[in-house]
Chain A
Amino acid sequence: MLRVEGIRKSFDRFNALSGADLHVGSGKIVAVIGPNGAGKSTMFKIITGHLKPEGGRVLFGGEPISSLSPHEICRKGIGMAFQIVNIFSRMSVFENVQAAVLSRTRQAGNIFRAASKMAVGETMEILASVGLREKAGSIAGKLSYGDQKVLEIAIALSTSPRLLILDEPTAGMSSEEAAVCTGLIRRLTAEQGLTVLFCEHNIELVLSLSDEIMVLQGGKTIIQDCPEAVCKSPAVRDAYLGGAA
């Protein structure tokens, strides 16, 4: 479904990515791991069009997408939940999800109907599926941090993605919030058969959730394989433990 081939990206003199590869098969859950600064978020931003690569290419469904803008990539079927909470904080929880539904159904330019009467059922259904139905009327910016992260996943889901990208979904959460969020991701992937690409520092979550793990270090791919193979890889041990193991 998604193939990233030799992408490069630098910021001033710092090489964030220097020829990283990744492939995500349809229906798979793939985790990207690596130390801080390995280039995980940069790779996700390149896939979603928020950054342009200096080399290499990104193919989605066999079609090159690295020259497309973020909204075009979203319309191709890639939904994203960012690392730092990225919601419409002044709008209600309902309106956050509704905006994504209206955009997906190409109703964003409609000036003739009242928004309050549109996509209500579907929006409430999505909110119910992530457990935010009772908070539909709350202002998004006033939710707890954990709920804001869940809302962000709900927004990404509302675009009906073929590929859902989650950038550190449990980052900054308390252990209780992280457990709820992990359960949610597990349930959603099982119920909806989503293809998911995510990065996460919580190794337990990574091992329990992923079909494949890609390890990134210094902007390069060390390995992409099943969790068992990655755990046994000497290169990965070197990368994480500096050769001490």
Chain B
Amino acid sequence: MVAPSLSLAYRARSLLRLETLAFPTAAAVLFLLPLVLPEFYVYFAALVLVTGLFATSLNLVLGYGGMYQFHHAVFYGAGAYAFALMLAKAHAPLWPAFLFAPLVSAMLGLLIGAICVRLSKLYFGMLQLSLGSLVWAVVFRWYSFTGGGDGLHEIPLPDAISTTRGAYYLTAVVVLICMVLLYRIVNSPFGKIFQAIRDNPQRSEAIGVDIRLHQLKGEVLAAFFAGIAGALYVVVEGSVVPDMMFWTASMEVMVMCLLGGWYTFLGPLFGAAVILGLRTFAGIYTDHWPLILGIILMAVILFFPEGVLGLLLRRANSKMELSTETEPE
């Protein structure tokens, strides 16, 4: 048996090796995919990446922060609308419009968050749901500006990204960068303290953490990344509709986190792939695909509540602990 500190160092080394390999491997796979996949699957992969980023941004506050973020889709929609309106109505160039989107979402996150973080748990979630629904109602009713229930279509995109493969490559690059940034945030002092607040708010306060301020910062960061995902959705789909910021969209993305594992970093991306896959491929055979999703969800909740990747990670950790016991000093 080795000393626990050695086991910790060994685990950290293993993780470091994994992290160093993960980025170039993911980049290579993402780059090669369009070369081997038919166009429809390239489009599908882009949609999975966008939705995965959206789900990961939710998981920052839900899984790591323990905040009941019941209406995260409002920030996703805000980013999408900000980007679409900048291109369609203000005729702005791509990059300023693309930067504008997450800023609008972050501002909305600051506004809604400043009101909601005064409350906690369910009360936080319910107030957020109400305020988010209010934003949705404004978008849905403001026909002259947002297109109302019809949304905005045929958004003018530069030629380079107006093709499926062009949109995919932009999405892949941006999502990869965002995932690296989110990973760093989760493992930064901010992320660690966020997890500490989730686990024990009273102790967090007693070590000098301003938990309301910390949660507000988390809310703004999550909204920012959701805004980027929203803008990418417009790049992939070429349109934006108010349904993407309706409360059901928020519930769907929560299910993605639950399914994949909300204490894991890649779980939400995995959950997004499963649910989009079900909707796309099972949807070909039956309109009742949510039934299959329901059965899968029940199984997840009953048998591995930490989600699919959560379960795999726990098993891998147990194996690693066993292997450190035999590692030579």
Chain A residues within CB distance 8 Å of chain B: 48, 50, 69-71, 74-75, 79-80, 82, 86-92, 94-95, 98-100, 102-104, 107-116, 118, 133-138, 155-156, 158-159
Across chains A and B, the number of contacting residue pairs, with CB separation under 8 Å, is 121
The CA of A111 and the CA of B5, in the complex, are separated in Å by: 26
Per-residue CB proximity of B55-76 to A under 8 Å, as 1/0?
0000000000000000000000
Instruction: List chain B residues, Cβ under 8 A from A89.
Output: 199-200
Q: Does B39 contact A (CB under 8 A)?
A: no
Decide: A104 near B4, CB < 8 A? Known: A98-B192, A115-B191, A116-B12: no
The CA of A103 and the CA of B209, in the complex, are separated in Å by: 6
A109 touches B7 (CB 8 A): no
A134 touches B5 (CB 8 A): yes
With both chains docked as a complex, state the minimum distance between the C-beta of B7 and any C-beta of chain A, in angstroms.
6
A108 touches B189 (CB 8 A): yes
A158 touches B207 (CB 8 A): yes
Instruction: List chain A residues, Cβ under 8 A from B221.
Output: 111
With both chains docked as a complex, state the minimum distance between the C-beta of A109 and any C-beta of chain B, in angstroms.
6
8 contacts between A and B (CB under 8 A): A70-B205, A71-B211, A90-B195, A91-B196, A111-B185, A114-B188, A134-B5, A136-B4
The CA of A98 and the CA of B12, in the complex, are separated in Å by: 16
Nearest CB in chain A to that of B202: its residue: A86
With both chains docked as a complex, state the minimum distance between the C-beta of A75 and any C-beta of chain B, in angstroms.
5
Decide: A92 near B202, CB < 8 A? Known: A98-B192, A100-B207, A114-B184: no
B203 touches A133 (CB 8 A): no
Q: Does B174 contact A (CB under 8 A)?
A: no
Instruction: List chain B residues, Cβ under 8 A from A80.
Output: 206
Q: Does B123 contact A (CB under 8 A)?
A: no
Return the 3 tightest CB-CB contacts between A and B, nearest first.
A137-B8, A74-B208, A70-B205
B203 touches A71 (CB 8 A): no
With both chains docked as a complex, state the minimum distance between the C-beta of A139 and any C-beta of chain B, in angstroms.
10
The CA of A11 and the CA of B12, in the complex, are separated in Å by: 48
Question: Which listed residue, B3, B11, B193, touches A134 by the CB 8 Å rule?
Answer: B3
With both chains docked as a complex, state the minimum distance between the C-beta of B256 and any C-beta of chain A, in angstroms.
23
Q: Interface residues of B, CB < 8 Å — how many?
A: 33
A87 touches B189 (CB 8 A): no
Decide: A111 near B188, CB < 8 A? Known: A70-B205, A99-B193, A99-B207: yes
A112 touches B188 (CB 8 A): yes
Q: Does B217 contact A (CB under 8 A)?
A: yes
A74 touches B205 (CB 8 A): yes
Decide: A136 near B203, CB < 8 A? Known: A98-B192, A110-B190, A111-B190: no
Question: Which listed residue, A48, A102, A104, A135, touches B192 by the CB 8 Å rule?
Answer: A102
A103 touches B193 (CB 8 A): yes
Which secondary structure dominates where chain B touches chain A?
helix
Instruction: List chain A residues, Cβ under 8 A from B280.
Output: none
B202 touches A108 (CB 8 A): no
B202 touches A71 (CB 8 A): no
B200 touches A159 (CB 8 A): no
Question: Which listed residue, B190, B191, B209, touches A71 by the CB 8 Å rule?
Answer: B209
Instruction: List chain A residues, Cβ under 8 A from B210.
Output: 69, 71
Within 8 A of A (CB), among B55-109: none
Instruction: List chain B residues, Cβ under 8 A from A74.
Output: 205-208
Nearest CB in chain A to that of B185: its residue: A111
The CA of A134 and the CA of B192, in the complex, are separated in Å by: 22
Question: Which listed residue, B8, B190, B199, B205, touches A69 by the CB 8 Å rule?
Answer: B205
Q: Does B279 contact A (CB under 8 A)?
A: no
Instruction: List chain A residues, Cβ under 8 A from B187.
Output: 114-116
B207 touches A115 (CB 8 A): no
Decide: A75 near B196, CB < 8 A? Known: A108-B189, A115-B187, A118-B189: no
Question: Which listed residue, B11, B191, B200, B207, touches A103 by the CB 8 Å rule?
Answer: B207
B188 touches A115 (CB 8 A): yes
Instruction: List chain A residues, Cβ under 8 A from B199.
Output: 88-91
A136 touches B205 (CB 8 A): no
A137 touches B208 (CB 8 A): no
B188 touches A110 (CB 8 A): yes
Nearest CB in chain B to that of A94: its residue: B8
B206 touches A70 (CB 8 A): yes
The CA of A80 and the CA of B203, in the complex, are separated in Å by: 9
Decide: A138 near B193, CB < 8 A? Known: A74-B206, A75-B208, A88-B203: no
Question: Which listed residue, A113, A135, A155, A158, touches B4 by the CB 8 Å rule?
Answer: A135
Instruction: List chain A residues, Cβ under 8 A from B208.
Output: 71, 74-75, 100, 103-104, 159
Q: Specify which of B188, B189, B204, B210 lies most central, judged by the most chain A CB atoms within 10 Å of its CB.
A: B189
A155 touches B8 (CB 8 A): no
Instruction: List chain B residues, Cβ under 8 A from A71.
Output: 204-206, 208-211
Q: Specify which of B4, B7, B12 lies most central, judged by the most chain A CB atoms within 10 Å of its CB.
A: B4
A107 touches B202 (CB 8 A): no
